[in-house]
């Protein structure tokens, strides 16, 4: 690829990011509704933590689970529903017949999901924290940001794999994405430690990047641990990112070829 081609791909990726923010702006009423739903969920989890006793630490344990899950869900959903959304809007054929490379398309979607997810999570925390008088005095900020960055990469690959489902199954794909998401929620220790699960489920949890992200986040926020002491969580997460990103792209491209053979690459209706 020469410099001109790289620039073209850059503009294409940026166009995807800007289009998604344009859509957020135009669907602002729905954004408020979904954000209110996330706040209610997070606050509920905070009260569950409070009712369990243990004070600030238990409340924070639950709120970290809720906010981190909300962030990872945004990443996963934005990516996984990118095809379903365009199919519903009717623009899918135009996006897929454009010369933009598929990796640019997907990375543009990821870029939007990360920025949007971070802003949303930050706002969520600002709203929820005062309600419980949360004390973040012991948080290690740089290590927390590192966890977020690596978790984003590994979850992005996961999302790409999920995105193939609506591509190859226009009718049921989105529902299967939600089942997959619920399964990750169950095994990743979002609201409980993974060692309370049966052994076989605990083994499954090691294949989810969310498990490492949550454990690492709790260590940096609750105990103030630094990057080196959470390396046992960061390393597998980074490894999963390196594996899942190319694998996600490969699976998505396979799904695209399958759809082109079967005639699935078209709008609804």
- In the complex, which residues of this chain contact another protein (CB under 8 A)? 7-9, 11-12, 14-16, 18-19, 22-23, 26-27, 89-91, 93-101, 105, 257, 260-263, 265-267
Cβ 163 vs Cβ 77: under 8 Å: no
Please state, as a whole number, how many other Cβ atoms lie within 10 Å of the Cβ of residue 63: 23
Q: What six digits make up the tokens of 218?
A: 């709790």
Looking at residue 137, the DSSP 8-state letter turns out to be T
What is the distance between the alpha carbons of residues 57 and 70, in angstroms, rounded to a whole number?
A: 20
CB of 111 to another protein, least distance (A): 13
Q: Which is nearer to another protein, 63 or 106 (CB)?
A: 106
What is the distance between the alpha carbons of residues 248 and 209, in angstroms, rounded to a whole number?
A: 14
CB of 211 to another protein, least distance (A): 36
Q: Which is nearer to another protein, 105 or 233 (CB)?
A: 105
CB of 196 to another protein, least distance (A): 44
Q: Which is nearer to another protein, 13 or 46 (CB)?
A: 13
Q: What six digits make up the tokens of 90?
A: 């009717």
CB of 75 to another protein, least distance (A): 22
Cβ 265 vs Cβ 259: under 8 Å: yes
Q: Which is nearer to another protein, 50 or 267 (CB)?
A: 267
């Amino acid at each position: 690829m020469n410099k001109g081609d790289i620039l073209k791909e850059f503009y294409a990726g940026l166009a995807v990011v800007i289009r998604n923010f344009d859509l957020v702006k135009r669907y602002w009423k729905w954004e408020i509704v979904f954000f209110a739903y996330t706040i209610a969920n997070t606050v509920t989890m905070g009260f569950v933590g409070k009712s369990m006793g243990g004070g600030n630490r238990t409340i924070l344990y639950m709120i970290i689970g809720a906010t981190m899950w909300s962030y990872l869900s945004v990443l996963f959903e934005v990516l996984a529903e990118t095809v379903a959304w365009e199919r519903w809007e009717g623009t899918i054929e135009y996006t897929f017949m454009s010369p933009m490379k598929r990796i640019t398309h997907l990375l543009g979607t990821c870029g939007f999901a990360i920025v949007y997810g971070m802003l949303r999570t930050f706002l969520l925390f600002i709203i929820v924290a005062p309600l419980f008088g949360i004390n973040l005095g012991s948080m290690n900020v740089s290590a927390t940001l590192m966890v977020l960055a690596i978790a984003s990469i590994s979850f992005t690959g996961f999302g790409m794999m999920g995105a193939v489902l609506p591509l190859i199954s226009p009718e049921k794909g989105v529902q299967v994405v939600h089942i997959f998401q619920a399964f990750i929620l169950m095994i990743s220790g979002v609201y409980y430690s993974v060692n309370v699960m049966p052994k076989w489920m605990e083994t499954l949890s090691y294949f989810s990047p969310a498990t490492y992200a949550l454990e690492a986040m709790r260590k940096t926020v609750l105990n103030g641990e630094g990057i080196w002491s959470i390396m046992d969580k960061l390393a597998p997460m980074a490894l999963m990112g390196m594996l899942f990103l190319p694998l996600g792209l490969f699976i998505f491209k396979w799904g695209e070829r399958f759809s082109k053979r079967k005639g699935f690459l078209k709008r609804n209706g």
